[in-house]
Amino acid sequence: MSDLVARTGRHQQRYENGYRLVAGCVPFRYKSSGDKDSSSEKIIEVLMINSPSGPGLLFPKVPLSAMSSIWLCSTGEPLIASTAINEKRLKEKDGCSVSGGWENDETVEEAAVREAIEEAGVRGDLMDCLGCYEFRSKTHQDEFSPEGLCKAAMFALFVKEELELWPEQNTRNRSWLAVSEALGSLRHVWMRDALERFCKWHEEKFVDGTI
């Protein structure tokens, strides 16, 4: 049995202007095309998990703790930031500006990494933020967000390790899919938008030679 334990409970979750704030990631890896030519193009695959509540596949995501700090995207949307060490990188790479300080619980990046482990059983390198995405969720309706409004900060996660045991393995199945297949399998429109943004991000990084 896995010695990892999933966080539960909603008492520390963070809200902003009626939106529950969420962190998530697009886990990805490279697969050889099978061509014997060593210079052949590598295929990008993204990791999807099933939804226990219905059909369609998902990316790992988690509500943010009330102790996380607020940042703003270039669009003015709230984004929860990481530690002070990452302030310069976030401002330059993601067009973010800080709004307020951080405290002791977990950062948005730590939340995204944690949920990748809990829901999908993967570890890797968390990379750039892909943006903030608004959506509604009936399961997230409560006194602080009666309409179930949520806003997710999504990151790219380069997977380095797949765990054999992980906290939600009894309710989650993992599937590695090509991007084109994943686009047709995602349950939510906002996750398709995040995947399309991931594709643009990856292309930009590939051209720049930074990935």
Write a three-state SS string for 11-77.
Answer: CCECEECCEEEEEEEEEEEEEECCCCCCCCCEEEEEEEEEECCEEEEECCEEECECCCCEEECCCCC
- Residues 113-125 as b/e (b if ≥16 CB within 10 A, e otherwise) read bbbbbbbbbbbbe
Write a three-state SS string for 115-133.
Answer: HHHHHHCEEEEEEEEEEEE
| Superfamily of 17-203 according to CATH | Nucleoside Triphosphate Pyrophosphohydrolase (3.90.79.10)
| Residue 14 pLDDT | 79
Residue 197: name the closest of 176, 211, 183, 177 by CA.
183
Structure tokens at 167: 């906290």
Residue 208 has pLDDT above 50, yes or no: yes
- pLDDT confidence tier of residue 141, bands split at 50, 70 and 90: low
DSSP 5: -
- pLDDT confidence tier of residue 67, bands split at 50, 70 and 90: very low
CB 94 within 8 A of CB 128: yes
Residue 81 has pLDDT above 80, yes or no: no
pLDDT in tens, 190-203: 999 999 999 999 99
Strands of 70-72's sheet, edge to edge? 78-80, 70-72, 97-98
The pLDDT > 90 percentage for the chain reads 44
| Residue 138 pLDDT | 73
For the chain, which residues make up each domain, given as ranges? 17-203
Q: Is the model's pTM score more than 0.85?
A: no
Residue 118 has pLDDT above 70, yes or no: yes
